[in-house]
Amino acid sequence: MTKKSFFTKLKWLALFATPLALTTLSSACVQKQEQKTKNEEPKQAIYYLRYVFDGDTIAVSPNSPTEKDFIKVRFFGIDTPETKKENKVEALAKYEDHYAQLATLGLKRMLRGSEKVTLEEFGKDKYGRTLAIVYNSKGENLNYEMVKQGLARAYYISTNPKSLFYTNTPTKVKIYNDLMQLQAEAKEKQINIWTKQNIKDVFHAFTELAE
């Protein structure tokens, strides 16, 4: 084979190989993205209910209602006012403790009679708590119910790419849209936390969610 014919063959090989390589790379990227999205979808599990800490945090255990260890669960996508704690010097908003107590009582009422709860888990937050959508024994979505009844605000979830809590998975986007709709309805009815003209009187930490 002459040197010229060798380079000619190499040239044609490169022309055919490049599109094939790009197609393979593109396919691999799509598969990787699909796998990532799949991994970010929630896993569902049933737990024993152990304790209600406040309006957006509970304790559960997987094997027994009396076992020593428990898992702390933070309700995904919502936030309730903070309760006043003796060991915390953090200043609360004017009516924060009042609405925090209402939120805790409201959640306990929704969980009455529920020995077990079902969780749709979305990983953990920076404190190591499991983030989840929580269902009681009646199958009620308690994250939604808390916002619907004006006991919680939609929070720590956003469709803004610049947000720390940005999400674009189908399940989370649906949750975001549902929560925003329920919050808008609670605002319009002016129930519980939305009876106050200034929401900053209810939450000491406040930034707008609707972005």
Q: Is residue 24 part of a domain?
A: yes
The domain of 192 spans 41-201
Is pLDDT larger for residue 8 or for residue 211? 8
Do 93 and 29 lie in one domain? The reply is no
Helix, strand, coil abundance in the chain, percent, nearest 5: 40, 20, 35
User: Cα separation of 43 and 153, whole Å?
Assistant: 24
Q: Are 177 and 86 in contact (CB under 8 A)?
A: no
- 167-206 pLDDT, tens digit per residue, is 889 999 999 999 999 999 999 999 999 998 899 999 987 6
Pair (25, 55) in one structural domain: no
**135 and 35 in one domain?**
no
Residue 162 in any domain: the answer is: yes
Give the burial string for 14-41 (b: 16+ CB within 10 Å, else e): eeeeeeeeeeeeeeeeeeeeeeeeeeee
Query: Looking at residue 117, what is its pLDDT?
Result: 99
For residue 206, the model assigns a pLDDT of 64
pLDDT band at 20 (very low <50, low <70, confident <90, very high): very low
- Does the pLDDT at position 135 exceed 50? yes
* Average pLDDT of the chain, as a whole number: 85
Q: Is the pLDDT of residue 13 over 70?
A: no
pLDDT, one tens digit per residue, over 71-89 is: 999 999 999 999 887 666 6
Residue 96: phi, psi to the nearest 5? Answer: -65, -50
Q: What pLDDT sits at residue 33? A: 37
Distance, C-alpha 29 to centroid of its chain: 26
pLDDT at 11: 55
Tell me: pLDDT of 140 over 90: yes
In which residue are the tokens 């009582």 written? 105
Does residue 208 form part of some domain? no
**Does residue 66 have a pLDDT over 70?**
yes
Tell me, yes or no, whether 11 and 63 share the same domain.
no
DSSP string across 36-104: HHHHHS-EEEEEEEEEEEETTEEEEESS-TT-S--EEEEETTEE-PPPP-TT--PPPPTTHHHHHHHHH
Q: Are residues 45 and 145 in the same domain?
A: yes
